Amino acid sequence: MKGVRTVSFENGFKGWRNAARVLLAHKIEPSDLEWQERGKGHSSALLWGNEEIDWPAMAGSSPQLVLNVSRRWLEMAEAVSYHRNPEKWQLLYNLIWRLTYENPKLMDLSIDDQVQAFLSMEHGVRRDAHKAKAFVRFRKIESEEGDIYCAWHEPENPLLRYVAPFFKDRFSVMKWTILTPDESVHWDLKSLHWGPGCAQGQGPQNDSLEELWGCYYKSIFNPARVKIKAMKAEMPRKYWHTMPETRLIEELIFESDQRVEAMIRAAPPSAEAYLPESEDLVSLKTALPGCRACELCAKATQGVFGMGHPNAKLMLVGEQPGEVEDQTGLPFQGPAGQILDEALAEASIDRDTIYLTNAVKAYKHRIEGKRRIHEKPSPREVGTCKAWLKSELKAVRPEVVVCLGLTAALAVLGQSVRLMDVKNKVLEVGDNWKVIVTHHPAHILRIQDPDEKDLAREELETALKLARSLAGMTRNIT
Ligand code: URA
């Protein structure tokens, strides 16, 4: 072990990536390092007396480094980072080293042991994540804080942080908790809160309920399970022990059906089922007219998909199409679009360089006589339509997203905000994009007081200027 130094880091994949970037730039070879995630397992520095490498101090003097890995590889590496095998960090550094300094086409060598280990871990975590999304069953608990949905799940890998964003998105309008043996997470409609795990193997048998649920609330916990046939066919045997004894199964199936139904009723339906297999912008736009996740598309003249540069650094999200957009099939064409165009010009942003879309893709309205009157979409409708917006975000991958109004903010941030709390702020959403929330142009149109109107207009322009600069866009209108 002589000469091997310990790389100590925290914050999972993000922390590993920061350390790896510095160490790669300094050309520190994989065999000289041992990776140690703080708080996980025993520190080899303590066990073997290895020297710790002070990589944060080296960061300031890092030589230039061009990383030879694709975004796809990084996504796969992130999945690997949730594998239970502690060797994963070493494996990831070995691979990124070889990709950078030895063979950029290494991943094509499927017979390579390290490539094989990487692919098998990635596949394992993805399959495990799929099971978590499919098998987590919530039970409704009535508490003083209102209804809370609770589930207990035992994944093969400690991947709760990997799948939590899925549940946050899917069930953003209800409070829920997921308990696993490794850790637990609670969504309170605003943010995710992390807590300890519940002891492994502690099944939801009667005498352990109090203790299990006691992790969070003074109540009981007993996960509901449904679709026993499908579950037995598809669910690995290791999950079965989390089920109550046989004599309780009938009763539980009955209860769980009701509870899962209640959960499904309370959660918005999702447009996800209507997404095409290939989620590029052209396929998405082609598939939109077929969406029947809610009634809005069928009632409107047409669904209105986003438009603009397919790789824009800046994406603008509005509320929903208006009367003119409903007729033309393009976003921001009517009076609100005109206000937006003026603000874009003031901020020196060319419409063709950005991507424009809406939180809800169809014009919600009511009929009064011969007129169609705009109606604001409900949070439930925003939740239902969100799958389209998410796919657009995934396809375009902007640096910055500007939410025009609070409906857009709800869709992008997954929670309601007040403009006065978020105005002029740059919000970071995970690793992905920066978010700015500002006025909706239609709101500016409706303001009667001239001073207030001017102020809101200026604030919209300021937000767009800030977005342009954050996105690293050069001025292209003079
Ligand atoms: N308002 C919006 O939010 N979007 C449009 O496309 C038009 C008006």
Read off the pLDDT of residues 168-210 as tens digits, 9 standing for 90 and up: 988 887 888 888 888 889 998 888 988 888 754 443 333 333 3
* Residue 245 burial (CB count, 10 A): 10
Where in the chain do CATH 3.40.470.10 domains reside? 275-470
- Tokens matching residue 361: 């893709």
Q: Which one of 302, 325, 375 would you pick to mutate in the ligand 1 pocket, going by the greatest count of ligand atoms within 8 A of its CB?
A: 325
Stretch 21-49: mean pLDDT = 81
Percent of the chain residues topping a pLDDT of 90: 60
Q: What are phi and psi of 215, to 5 degrees?
A: -55, -35
Q: What average pLDDT does the segment 385-405 reach?
A: 96
pLDDT of residue 229: 52
Mean pLDDT of the chain: 84
pLDDT for 100-157, tens place per residue? 999 999 999 989 999 999 999 999 999 999 989 877 877 767 667 777 787 888 899 9
The alpha carbon of 336 and the centre of ligand 1 are apart by a number of angstroms equal to 6
What is the CA angle 267-286-297, rounded to 5? 45
Q: What are phi and psi of 110, to 5 degrees?
A: -70, -10
Kindly state the helix (H) or strand (E) to which residue 405 belongs, with its residue range: none
Beta carbon of 303 within 6 Å of any ligand 1 atom: no
pTM of this prediction?
Answer: 0.56
| pLDDT above 70 coverage of the chain, percent | 80
Distances (CA, A) of 261 to 167, 169, 248, 267, 379: 17, 19, 20, 10, 20
363 lines ligand 1 (CB under 6 A): no
Q: What is the pLDDT of residue 41?
A: 60
For residue 318, which atom of ligand 1 is closest to its CA?
3
Mutating to test ligand 1, I would choose from 305, 320, 388 the residue with most ligand atoms within 8 A of its C-beta, which is 320
CA dist 41 to 12, 106, 159, 194, 289, Å?
14, 31, 17, 19, 52
Sheet strands (E) in 10-120: 33-37, 51-52
CB 271 within 8 A of CB 360: no
> Is the Cβ atom of 320 under 6 angstroms away from ligand 1?
yes
Residue type at 308 in one-letter notation: G
Ligand 1 touching residue 325 (CB < 6 A) = yes
Residue 82 beta carbon below 6 angstroms from any ligand 1 atom: no
CATH class of 275-470: alpha beta
pLDDT, position 435: 96
Q: Tell me, what's the pLDDT at 222?
A: 33
Question: pLDDT tens-digit profile of 312-365?
Answer: 999 999 999 999 999 999 999 999 999 999 999 999 999 999 999 999 999 999
214 pLDDT above the threshold of 80: no
Output the CA 444–ligand 1 centroid distance in Å.
13
Beta bridge partner(s), residue 367:
372
